[in-house]
Amino acid sequence: MKCDECMPLLEDFLYNQVDGAAEKALAEHLPACDSCAREYALLQREQELYARSEVEIAPDFWSGVQARIASENRSGAQWFAGLFDAFRFAPIAGIACLMVIVGSIGLWRYLSPRTDHPVTAQVQNAPQVGVTTTAPEIEKGKIDWMLPYRPVSRSASRVYVRKIEKRAPATNVVVESKPLNNELDADSARHLEQVEMLLRSFKNSRRSNTLDLTYESGVSKDLLARNVLLRRDAELAGDEPLTRLLDQFQPFLVDIANLRDNSDSKEIHKVRERLTKSEIIAAVHSF
Amino acid sequence: MDTIRLAGKLGTFAQTQQRGAGGLLERAQQGDEEAFSLLFEQYARPISNFIYRMVGRGDLAEDLAQETFVRAYKKIRTLRLNDGTQLSTWLFSIAKNVVRESFRSQRIDQSQVGIDDVLPVSIRGDEPAPDERLWNKELQHMVQQGLQKLDPDKRQVFVLRVFQQCSYDEIAAITGYSMSKLKADLFRARTQMRELLRPYLEQSNEV
């Protein structure tokens, strides 16, 4: 064995971790090689120094470990016991959970904008056929349709229902409202009203050669944008009558929106004529 | 020669401790507390030594050693010794983790070791003379100070190799280091410690 082979094995040899053949070779090499023997002797002396003392284990060390194990077991057992204790309250907890679930469902249904509850309305004097709402703040005739569109939260409890009221001869007759299968949501109802008012206003406007249509044009642009969105929603919801109606609005809204200030009376007249022919106002009124 | 005969006296910690541990382990895994206490008796000293050398404080070392055995007790049922893994390796791994967590949580100032922090030591062989006892205590303090000056990786490798006489494979299994890293760490640690203990080495040579 050469020195460069011997040196790396000295430590293993010291700790008795060398295989049989290498051990034999080392045992033969060390007495013959001064440098390797010196290194080995140094390792031995170091090891003796390190090994001179050893940590004494405290007599109560094991009892300390036992106490900690027992404590951990106790806490584990308490956890299990607590779990079983909890089962005693399981029926009460179950009932409470059920009540919470039922309450949540009820609340959700109550807050949902679509509802199947029939709505009755007391109509004073001459009953009207058309779109009415049950929302107190949007009473028919009091709607400022010129105001810009204000979206209504879908979570609000206000519900707008398409109603067809019976013509009643007498006053103070309670008219039974007849909810249709497809209810009209607040956005659509308001939109229909605003469009109807716009078209009616445009159709009945004073006939003159020129007309300042700045305001109508602006409102028509707003309604047109809204119309596109509502039409898409109605189509997605599968509400064909509403989709068709909104489809019919679109060309008129485009025409009115495109009328320039002080437009020629011929242009205005053409739009009016088409409006009259299409009977769109009657259609929206009876919707 | 004395030097060569001495080599045969030393052996790996694992080799000596593993004998007879297999049956005890099985019993301990089946919930036999007596078997666990016997295993504990076998490993309490080396594990406590390792932890003490790592943290350098007697009170903390005792606490961490207890924590190590509590963890071992909780996990021993699920222990599977595969691929020649030994029980000692498993225990040292737990101890290493406990020490590392302690370093993280307590931010031990590793360079500060008071002489009163040294655990009570038993001197091998006959009761030494008072001056030798004093020399031993001083040596013990020097060794502990030297260890605390090593960075934790090197200290870990050095303690496992020199104090616990673990093989390279065992150290690699315990620490997770590559063989090249642990050999390099060991070489540097040994050189650093040799420098520190040179006066004592010369003194012991004279003796």
Q: What is the pLDDT of residue B157?
A: 94
Q: What is the pLDDT of residue A144?
A: 44
**What residues of A are in contact with residue B141 (Cβ under 8 Å)?**
none
The answer to whether B205 contacts A45, with C-beta atoms less than 8 Å apart, is yes
User: Which among A50-59, A212-221, A222-231 has the top mean pLDDT?
Assistant: A222-231
The answer to whether A54 contacts B49, with C-beta atoms less than 8 Å apart, is yes
Could you report how far apart the first and last alpha carbons of chain B are, in Å? Answer: 18
Q: What is the pLDDT of residue B155?
A: 93
Question: In terms of domains, do A279 and A140 share one?
Answer: yes
Burial (CB < 10 A; 0-12, 13-18, 19+), residue B91, is buried
Q: What is the pLDDT of residue B126?
A: 52
Whether ipTM exceeds 0.90: no
The answer to whether A47 contacts B162, with C-beta atoms less than 8 Å apart, is yes
CA distance B104 to chain A (A): 22
DSSP letters for chain A = --HHHHGGGHHHHHTT---HHHHHHHHHHHHH-HHHHHHHHHHHHHHHHHHSEEEPPPTTHHHHHHHHHHHHHHHHHHHHHHHHHHHHTHHHHHHHHHHHHHHHHHHHHHH-S-------EEEPSS---S-----GGG-TTT--TTSPP----TTSS-------PPP-SSSSEEEPP---SSPPPHHHHHHHHHHHHHHHHHHTS---S-B--HHHHHHHHHHHHHHHHHHHHHHHHT-HHHHHHHHHHHHHHHHHHHPPTTB-HHHHHHHHHHHHHHTHHHHHHH-
Pairwise pLDDT comparison (A10 vs A142), residue with the higher score? A10
Whether residue A164 is contained in a domain is answered as no
The answer to whether the beta carbons of residues A7 and A35 sit under 8 Å apart is no
Q: What is the pLDDT of residue B28?
A: 81
Q: Which residues contact A263 (CB under 8 A, 6 or more apart)?
A: A210, A211, A213
Q: What is the pLDDT of residue B180?
A: 92
φ, ψ (nearest 5 deg) of residue B42: -70, -35
Residue A195 has pLDDT above 80, yes or no: yes
Q: What is the pLDDT of residue B125?
A: 47
Stretch among A188-192, A237-241, B78-82 having the lowest mean pLDDT: B78-82
State the residue for tokens 């922090």: B117
The answer to whether B3 contacts A65, with C-beta atoms less than 8 Å apart, is no
Whether residue A105 is contained in a domain is answered as no
Question: In terms of domains, do A136 and A26 share one?
Answer: no
Pairwise pLDDT comparison (A131 vs A86), residue with the higher score? A86
Could you report how far apart the first and last alpha carbons of chain A are, in Å? Answer: 109
Residue B12's SS3 state is: coil
Band of the pLDDT at A118, cuts 50, 70, 90? very low
Pairwise pLDDT comparison (A57 vs A10), residue with the higher score? A10
Domain, as residue range, for A12: 3-51
CA distance B67 to chain A (A): 8
DSSP letters for B52-118 = HHHH--HHHHHHHHHHHHHHHHHHGGG----TT--HHHHHHHHHHHHHHHHHHHH---TT---GGGS
Residue ranges of the domains in chain B? 10-206
Is A62 at the interface with chain B, CB within 8 A?
yes
The answer to whether the beta carbons of residues B64 and B95 sit under 8 Å apart is yes
For residue A61, how many C-alpha atoms fall within 13 Å in the half-sphere facing its CB?
A: 25
Pairwise pLDDT comparison (A130 vs B103), residue with the higher score? B103
**Residues, chain B:** 207
Question: In terms of domains, do A143 and A30 share one?
Answer: no
The answer to whether A57 contacts B44, with C-beta atoms less than 8 Å apart, is yes
CA distance A52 to chain B (A): 6
User: Which among A147-156, A200-209, B143-152 has the top mean pLDDT?
Assistant: B143-152
Whether residue A220 is contained in a domain is answered as yes
The answer to whether the beta carbons of residues A152 and A230 sit under 8 Å apart is no
Stretch among A104-108, A225-229, A280-284 having the lowest mean pLDDT: A280-284
What is the count of structural domains for chain A?
Answer: 2
Q: Which of A51, A67, A82 is the last residue of a domain?
A: A51
Mean pLDDT (whole number) for A147-161:
41
Question: In terms of domains, do A149 and A256 share one?
Answer: yes
Question: In terms of domains, do A136 and A238 share one?
Answer: yes
Mutating which of B15, B41, B62 best tests the A interface, going by the most A Cβ atoms within 10 A? B62
Residue B121's SS3 state is: strand
Question: In terms of domains, do A45 and A147 share one?
Answer: no
State the residue for tokens 């509850």: A117
Q: Using CB atoms, pick whichever of A11, A31, A50 lies closest to residue B163.
A: A50
Q: What is the pLDDT of residue A220?
A: 86
Burial A57-85, CB ≥16 within 10 A → b, else e: bbeebbebbbebbeeeeeeeeeeeeeeee
Instruction: Say how far apart CA B34 and CA B40 lie, in whole Å.
Output: 10
Band of the pLDDT at A150, cuts 50, 70, 90? very low
Stretch among A33-47, A152-166, A265-279, B186-200 having the lowest mean pLDDT: A152-166
Whether residue A115 is contained in a domain is answered as no
Residue A7 has pLDDT above 80, yes or no: yes
Tokens of B203: 């003194």
Whether residue A276 is contained in a domain is answered as yes
> Considering only residues 26 to 55 of chain A, which have any Cβ-Cβ distance to chain B shorter than 8 Å?
27, 30-31, 37, 40-42, 44-55
Question: What digits encode the pLDDT tens for the residues A157-172?
Answer: 334 444 444 444 444 4
Tokens of A28: 């033969």
CATH for B10-206? 1.10.1740.10
Tokens of A275: 């409006």
Sequential pLDDT tens for chain B (207 residues): 333 333 333 444 444 455 555 677 888 888 788 888 888 888 888 898 899 889 888 888 888 988 998 898 888 888 877 656 688 899 999 999 999 998 887 655 554 554 445 454 444 445 566 677 777 788 888 888 899 899 999 999 999 999 888 999 999 999 999 999 999 999 999 999 988 888 887 766 655
Per 3-state DSSP, chain B is made up of helix, strand and coil in percentages (nearest 5) of: 75, 0, 25
% of chain A beyond a pLDDT of 90: 0
Whether residue A124 is contained in a domain is answered as no
Kindly state the helix (H) or strand (E) to which residue B207 belongs, with its residue range: none
Q: What is the pLDDT of residue A114?
A: 53
Q: Which of A51, A68, A89 is the last residue of a domain?
A: A51
One-letter amino acid for residue A160 of the chain: Y
